[in-house]
Every structure is written in structure tokens, then in C-alpha cells.
A and B are shown apart, each in its own frame.
Chain A
Amino acid sequence: MSNQYIPNPKEAESIHILREVAAQFEKPVLLFSGGKDSITLVRLAQKAFYPARIPFPLLHIDTGHNFPETIAFRDQLVEELGLELIVRNVQDSIDQGKVTEERGRYASRNTLQTTTLLDAIEEFKFDACIGGARRDEEKARAKERVFSVRDDFGQWDEKNQRPELFDMLNGRIHQGQNVRVFPISNWTELDVWEYIKNEQIKIPSIYFAHKREVFFRDGMVWTANQHVYRDHSEEVVERMVRFRTVGDMTCTAAVLSEADTLEAVVEEIRQSTISERGARIDDKRSEAAMEKRKKVGYF
């Protein structure tokens, strides 16, 4: 029993938000990617409702191009915490002819996820989707609300957002609308890493330095794998790398790193001069890439 408990303001804010979701919505779901941000959300949700179980399921939109380490990690976490996991596959959306696989050098299933996500929202009638996006990730995200109301098409209208005053959250919506909820809006990448370190939260092994077959393109380190398009001229080499974000293999670049412990990773982030989304190939497509994707319902 500890006598003096000093609250961490960002953690307390996130817990407050998660409790509001559980109280204000009928069918919330936590979007789980297996990445460090959604893993942090799971820990925050545990804290928010302890000793009760987390009162909503996890939803994973699987592109089929995930790192196997992430999937193994996901299944283990779900089992340990006794959570309910729903998986929906982008491959199914492709097979149903709802989306078309991209081709060429930069082919990725990342944008295709949107359709699968919207279908899952409709299938389960989810009214609130909790996500691990942070405002420091990207300029368009900096204007995102904690409770972000989306229409039937999942669209985000930046000119028509509800102002959020103090910590009062207005989750009232009409039939067909749903809300995207971002409990760690105010966290930075460093906040997340320091939290994972202090809380000793388990994360997938690909976040730590490991040997991997990679190739170099546009100054970035790509995973050499059957899912990632590669020219004959692009030579595969083995390097010590780790990942700063864990998304679809086709759009997540690695960084050269020797950091193989949480302490070393946190120190590397602290020193780092390349922002996290700099290693996301999907954002390099254009300056306005994120804003465009959000307008069509991307997370």
C-alpha cells in the first residue's frame, strides 16, 4: 500500500476519457493494431475499469501484411487479459470486390483498411471507436477532437467540429453517426515510450533492434518480404533494425538501430531527430496525405 500517490496528468486525462466512452455509448470498441499506442490504450483501459474487465471488445483490421510477431503478440495479450477480440480482414474486402489491390512500387493495403473498418462498424453497430492516434503525429491530427463525430460515411469535417471545453465530452450522436475517440490525443511519442518503460508494459519484439533482411529505397529502410514490392536492382542486405511504428509491412519503414532494451529505445527516441511518421511511407505520398485519408474515413 503506497501512501502518497501523485497522479500523472496525461494518464488521468486518458482514464477519464475512457470512462466517459463506457458511460456515454452503447457499443464502443477499441481499435487494436498491435502497435505500442493501442497497447498503451489497453493498459489505460485496464486501469480505468479495474477490478472489472475492460467493458468493450478489441477490433483488429488485419491487412494480411502484418508482421507475424505482432499477430502472435496480439493473441497472447488477448488471452492473458481475457479480452474479446474481433478480427476483420482486408483480404475479404478485396475478395468481395469492394476494394482493389494497389499495384506498383508503392503498393500498400494501408488505405484499403478504411473500407473494412467502415464495414465492421456497420456490421456490429459500433457507436464509438477508440483509437490510439495522437495530435503530435501529424499536422492534420493536431486539430482532431478527443470525441470526433463522423457521419455514416466515416467522414471527418474539420470545419464542423464540436468545441471541447474543459474536460466535458459531448458524445451525443444521431442514428448512423459514430464517434472516433482518441484518449491519448495529448501524449507525445516520448510520453508513450516513457509510460511503457515506467509501467513495464510488454510490446512486440519488432520494436527492439533485431537482424532483418532489408533493402534501401528513397533513403528509407524497407522490409524484404513477399508482400513488399522490390525491383531487381534493389539489393537485399541484413541489418540491425527496429520499428518505431507497427503498421502494415508495405508502409512501415524500419530504422537502423542497436537499441535492444526499453531503456535504450527511450533514449534513442529522446535523441531522435526523425519524427515518427517520417518512417511511414504512406504519408510521404503527399504533404496532404493524412488530411485526405481522414476525410474519407481513415482513422
Chain B
Amino acid sequence: MTENRKLIKIATAGSVDDGKSTLIGRLLYDTGSLTTDKLEAIERNSKQKGYDYLDFSLATDGLVAEREQGITIDVAHIYFNTDKTNFIVADTPGHVEYTRNMVTGASTSQVAIILIDARKGVIEQTYRHFFISNLLRLSHVVVAVNKMDLVDYDEEVYLKIRSDFEALVEKSDFSADQITFIPISALKGENVSQKSVMMSWYVGNTLLDHLEVLEPSDLQESSTARFPVQFVIRPKTEAYHDFRGFAGKVYGGNLKKGDLITVLPSFTESKIKSIHFFENEIEEAIAGSAVTITLENEVNVSRGDMIVRSSELPKSEKSIIATICQVNNKPLRVGDKYTLQHGVNSVLAKVDQIQAKIHTDFSGEEAVDQLRLNDIGKVTFKLSKPIHFDPYLQNKSTGSFILIDEGSFDTVSVGFID
């Protein structure tokens, strides 16, 4: 599969009517990803609605309920590619209360495109979108100032928005080179994939060109190797009578044959005997590899355990502090008990203290007694057993968790460990 094409994962964020669906439809159209039948459906629909232009937003507004109300209600995934790059777009809808959806979409993304309506400028929603991009430490943010056609392609309007946004960047953990500003018109296709003639004052790349040259880095690539065990493979066949393999994915760094390792939580030491990927034995498994590992001696390892290099032990704690985003209607209260799913491991967790609710507009925090849907807050937990983790800033995978309600089994919160 596309071995020489890189994969870039993008979350899009914008308020209602910022033209986000139109932009995605335009990207699909310009990269030839809208197929004849889909284009025909768009033409038919646009005509029915009496538009004199092609309404590309119809390419992504999927569900009947949404089309009736003219809104999008959940994260949709959209795919397109150029010769060099595969793109996955997590399109998150733009209601006022939509933190949950953007956090979800951003959790699997490396880049955020934040849309701003040139007529409205930087608004409260823009703060929230940028706050979440910052909280999840995305690799890059693209600020697309849209609807430039409606402000006569005026450079002054663009520069004002840019400087307003730059004031926000100062308050964040991003450095200036992680943020790119592009003035566009998604409807007219200006600076999306074609350089705008109307905005000759803009000298940068078009949006698509910019996305193609990005080299997003995942936090974990530079960190140490973590190997949570998903499944124990015991073939029990004649050929593999004594085979006991530990299947999982490498998060961060690499693991090599012969490495001295420690199995958590037992802190048993051993050595990597072999690394397998399907029928091949490999010397080294780099971050992102889904492989099977065998160890030199008989070690008791089961699902949820973690294999790490003995010289690179993670933190092990029975009490943790985390930033929480509430993604369910049920509020989080002090004393509540949940199942905490940390990667493929689960423990029981009790909410010990809600330290604060954090304002998503960079205006500080306040004391609260509960966190409601879409709230973000700082929470301390007591755990039934220690978990073995890295701070989120060092490893997104071992530094994050979800909380599961024991009654409904719903995922109610996502946490980023301090």
C-alpha cells in the first residue's frame, strides 16, 4: 500500500457557517477525489436547492438528519490523496458546544486547520479551537482565513486577523513556526489548490501545497519505547509447540532483538529473544510497528502488561493528576468511581479532587464541584493499582486514558496525564 506516499492526519475546526464543509468539498474536488457519481449528486442537490454554484458542502454533510437541519452532528472521516501524500481528515462539526468532537478528532490527528470567517475575525470559538490544538499538542496548526471573496480580498482584513491570532499564539505552547496563515476562498477555490490571482499580495503556499510539504512529528517518535501487551499468542501447534509471543504495538523509539527489558507491573527482567512480523523475523521494531515479541526466559506476561527497556522505566503511580475533557452528558464529580482504560490496561479510578475547570479561551480557571460535558479541568485520581505511564507531553499513548462508566459502559472522559 502506497509505501512511498506519506500519511498526514488533519482535524478541521470552524464555527457554524465558516465554510468548513465547503473547504473539504473543494479539496476533494481539486484533488480529483470527488468521483463522477458524487459530483452528479452534488449537482443534483445544488440545483434542487436553487443554488447557482456547486455546493461542495454536500460532499461531506452525510446524514439525513444533518441535511434537513443543514448542520453536521458528529466527527466524519474523509480521505483524499495527491501523488505524494495520503490525507485523512477528521471533520468536526461547529456548534458552540463541541469541544468533545474536536478533542476526539484531534486525538487521531497531527495537524489542525482552523477556519476563520474573514468577515467575523477571531471569535470566541477560534480561541477554543486553538486551545484544544494546544492541549493535545498537535504538530502544526494552519489558520485558514476563509471567505476572502466577501471582504474584497482585502489584505488589511487578513493582516488584522493574523495579528489578533498571533496574540493568542503568545499565550500557547506553540512556537511561531508551527503556525501558518493562509487567506482563502473555499467557495471560489482561491488559494486552496490554485494560487489566487485576486490575492497577489499573498506570497505563501496554497493550502494544499502547504499540507503536502508539512513533516508532522508525533510526540512519541522521539521518546522511549513502550510496548503494551495486547494479546498473548500461543499457537499450540506441533511446529510452534513452545511458542509464547506477546502481541502489541511499539509506541515511541524502537525495540531490538537482544534488548534487556523489564515487564511491568511485575518488574521481571528478561531479554528480547525474537521479534516477529507475520512470517518474517525482524531485528528491530520501530515506533508504529504492530509486532509479536518473544522473551528469553519463561516470564509471566498477560494482557495489559507493558514491556520496556530496563534502562528506560516509565513512571509508576497509584495516584495521578490529569487534564480531563468530559465527553459524555454525565458530569464528573468528586468521589465518582470509573474504570480507567490506559491503552490496553484497565484499573479502577476514584475522582479524588477536581482542582479547577480550565477556561478554553485562555482566560484562566475557576473552582467547580463538577465537570460537565465539554468541560476541561484538572483532576486528581486515586487508582486501585499503579499504572505505568509517561506524561502526555512525552508520549501521547502512554500519557492518555479514557474513563468508562460502570453502569452504561460509555466513554465519559478522556485524560492527559501531567
Q: Could you say which residues of chain B place their CB within 8 Å of the CB of A140?
A: 62-63
Closest chain B CB from A131 CB (angstroms): 16
Q: Is B414 an interface residue (CB 8 A)?
A: yes
Q: Could you say which residues of chain A place their CB within 8 Å of the CB of B62?
A: 139-140, 142-143, 291
Chain A, Cβ-Cβ closest to B325: A165
Q: Could you say which residues of chain B place their CB within 8 Å of the CB of A163?
A: 75, 100-101, 103-104, 327, 411, 414
Q: Is B335 an interface residue (CB 8 A)?
A: no
> Does the CB pair A174–B279 fall under 8 Å?
no
Residues of A1-39 at the interface with B, using a CB-CB cut-off of 8 Å, are: 1-13, 15-16, 19-20, 22-23
Closest chain A CB from B45 CB (angstroms): 8
C-alpha gap A173/B407 in the complex (Å)? 10
Closest chain A CB from B279 CB (angstroms): 7
Q: Could you say which residues of chain A place their CB within 8 Å of the CB of B35?
A: 272-275, 278
> Does the CB pair A1–B281 fall under 8 Å?
yes
> Does the CB pair B64–A170 fall under 8 Å?
no
> Does the CB pair A23–B282 fall under 8 Å?
no
Residues of B55-72 at the interface with A, using a CB-CB cut-off of 8 Å, are: 60-65
Q: Could you say which residues of chain A place their CB within 8 Å of the CB of B396?
A: 166
Q: Could you say which residues of chain B place their CB within 8 Å of the CB of A135?
A: 76-77, 79
Q: Could you say which residues of chain B place their CB within 8 Å of the CB of A273?
A: 32, 35-36
C-alpha gap A161/B74 in the complex (Å)? 9
C-alpha gap A158/B63 in the complex (Å)? 9
Q: Is B298 an interface residue (CB 8 A)?
A: no
Q: Tell which of B172-180, B183-191, B230-238 binds the partner.
A: B230-238
Interface size class of A (residues with CB under 8 A): 35 or more
Q: Is B1 an interface residue (CB 8 A)?
A: yes
Interface size class of B (residues with CB under 8 A): 35 or more
Q: Could you say which residues of chain B place their CB within 8 Å of the CB of A8?
A: 1, 3
> Does the CB pair A188–B37 fall under 8 Å?
no
**Given A5-B285, A165-B402, A291-B63, do A52 and B234 touch, yes or no (CB 8 Å)?**
yes
Q: Is B2 an interface residue (CB 8 A)?
A: yes
Hey, what's the 0/1 contact readout for A256-299 against B, CB within 8 Å counting as 1? 00000000000000001111011000000001100100000000
Q: Is B355 an interface residue (CB 8 A)?
A: no
> Does the CB pair A143–B75 fall under 8 Å?
yes
**Given A165-B411, A278-B36, do A5 and B73 touch, yes or no (CB 8 Å)?**
no
Interface centre among A5, A48, A161, by most chain B C-beta atoms within 10 angstroms, is A5
> Does the CB pair A291–B64 fall under 8 Å?
yes
Q: Which of A2, A139, A142, A168 contacts B282 (CB 8 A)?
A: A2
> Does the CB pair B247–A162 fall under 8 Å?
no
Q: Could you say which residues of chain A place their CB within 8 Å of the CB of B286?
A: 5-7
> Does the CB pair B36–A162 fall under 8 Å?
no
Q: Is A51 an interface residue (CB 8 A)?
A: yes
Q: Which of B279, B344, B400 contacts A23 (CB 8 A)?
A: B344
> Does the CB pair B282–A5 fall under 8 Å?
yes
Q: Could you say which residues of chain A place their CB within 8 Å of the CB of B327?
A: 163, 165
Q: Which of B45, B278, B401 contacts A47 (CB 8 A)?
A: B278
C-alpha gap A167/B81 in the complex (Å)? 23
Q: Which residues of B contact A (CB under 8 A)?
A: 1-3, 7, 32, 35-38, 41, 45, 60-65, 73-79, 81, 86, 88, 100-101, 103-104, 107-108, 230-231, 233-237, 239-240, 243, 245, 247-249, 276-286, 288-290, 292, 303, 327, 339, 341, 343-344, 396-397, 400-402, 404, 409-411, 414
